Amino acid sequence: MPARAPLRSLVADRPLAEQVRAQLAEGMAKGAWKPGEAIPSESQLAARFGVAIGTIRKAVDGLVAQQALVRRQGKGTFVTAHDSGRLMFHFFHIVERDGTKSYPEVRTIDFRRDRAGAEAARALDLSPLDKVVRIRNVLSLRGRRAILDDITLPAQLFPGLTEKIFVARENTIYHLYQSRYGINVLRADERLRGAVASREQAERLGIDEGAALLEIRRVAYTFRDRPVELRVSHVDAARFEYHNTLGKGEVL
C-alpha cells in the first residue's frame, strides 16, 4: 500500500472485516485516494493488514454497498466520483409530467452565513448557535423553473466556502463537497409532503401564490452516518413530479 495511506494496526475488539472497512473509509475521507482513483488490489491490502483476501473482499463489499467504492470489471475498484451521471442516477428524482428527465440548470440567488437554529441543528447534529452556510438555488429543467432549493451546511465542515467558489464549481454540488472538502455523500434520507406556494416561492418559481408544491426534505450523510447537508426543496407540482426507480443497478 502506498505510504500516503497510513492505516492503524488491527486489534481484536471488532471483526477484522469491519476494522478494515472502517480504516479504508477513513483513508478515503482523508484523501488517501482521490475520487475516481483506484484503491490497492485485494492482495496488496491483504498483505498490508495481514489478513485473508476473503476478509479484504468482505470489507470492500461493504464499501461498495455503501456506494463509496465501485468495482469496474477487469480494471479494479475505484473511489466513487460524484459527477453529473451519478447525480442523475442516485440523487435527482424530479421529472416532467410526461416522465422526461433532464439535467437541472442551477442558479444561486442567495448565499450567506447564519446560526443553525432549531430545525437545522436537529437535522445536522449541531447546536442551534453553531454556524452554518445557507444557500438558495432555483433549478430549471429545459428552461422552465421547477425547484426552489434551500441548502444548509455545517460551516465547520466547509471552511473557506464562498459564494464565488460555490457558483464557479465545474461539476455538481456533491462533486464540490467531495473534491474540495473530502466529503463523500453516500446516502440521503428524504421525506416528501404536499405544500402550497408562499408569495416569495411563487415569485421565484413563476407560479401563482397558493399553487400546489411538493416539499422534499433531504438530509445527506457521509461516512459513519454523519449528516453533512440539509436540503429543503419545493417543486412546482403542476408541471413536475418525483420519480425514483428502486432496485435498478448502475451500469458501468
Residue with cell 447564519: 114
pLDDT of residue 4: 38
pLDDT of residue 245: 78
Task: Indicate the residue type of 39.
Answer: I
Q: What does the block give as the cell for 174?
A: 456533491
Could you give all domains of the chain from N- to C-terminal order, each with its CATH number? 16-79 (1.10.10.10), 84-242 (3.40.1410.10)
Distances (CA, A) of 23 to 7, 16, 17, 37, 186: 6, 11, 10, 17, 16
- pLDDT average per 10 residues of sequence, the chain (252 residues): 45 78 81 83 89 92 84 87 59 88 94 97 98 98 96 97 95 88 88 97 97 97 91 97 70 38
Task: Indicate the residue type of 244.
Answer: N
Q: How far apart are CA 81 and CA 40, in angstroms?
A: 17
96 closest CA partner among 149, 150, 146: 146
| Strand extents, DSSP E, the chain | 69-72, 76-79, 94-96, 105-115, 131-141, 144-154, 187-196, 212-221, 227-236, 240-242
Tell me if the pTM is above 0.95: no
Quick one: DSSP state of residue 209? T
Answer yes or no: are the C-beta atoms of 155 and 250 closer than 8 Å.
Answer: no
